[in-house]
A = this chain, B = another copy of it.
């Protein structure tokens, strides 16, 4: 198994992920309902950007919900509380790798296999802050996404 593009103990990474989320929910009085938990698990399991309808298909197969609002509500919850991120480039979603830590996420996204690595951005990239101050713009959210080819897919092509 790989984290991002490298091997790792993914089972552990997943159970730790769910645990962080679970703890955070208890501490902050948030309800980690079955659908929400399952969507979080799915995102953690895949370690890549998943479309809402891909997730919905899985939920459907498991009898956990069959209509779009089910998955979009669960995703809203996960996004709002920082448990997952939306990859705007792909209209897809991925588990957060830094639950509970304030951060501006940045992503490396493989266009072949949709694998995603989340890296911490250098605090929202100073040039943005500078540009914003220069024009008196109030930044509320920053999207940083790099699309390309991951090492595995590069090897596969060669």
Contacts and interface: CB of A to CB of B under 8 A. Distances in A.
A124 to B, nearest CB: 8
Nearest to A91: B91
Nearest to A124: B146
Report which residue of A108, A111, A124 has the largest number of chain B beta carbons within 10 angstroms of its beta carbon. Answer: A108
B131 A106 contact: yes
Interface string A135-147: 1111111111111
A92 B139 CA distance: 19
B135 A4 contact: yes
A20 interface: no
Contact of A131 (B119, B128, B139): B119
Given A88-B88, A106-B131, A108-B131, A137 B151 contact: yes
Contact of A140 (B111, B126, B131): B111
B149 A140 contact: yes
B89 A108 contact: no
A139 B143 contact: no
Contacts of A143: 88-89, 143-147
B146 A141 contact: yes
Interface string A91-116: 00000000000000010101100000
A145 B124 CA distance: 10
Contact of A121 (B5, B111, B127, B136): B127
Interface of A: 4-6, 88-89, 106, 108, 110-111, 117, 119-122, 124-128, 131-132, 135-151, 154
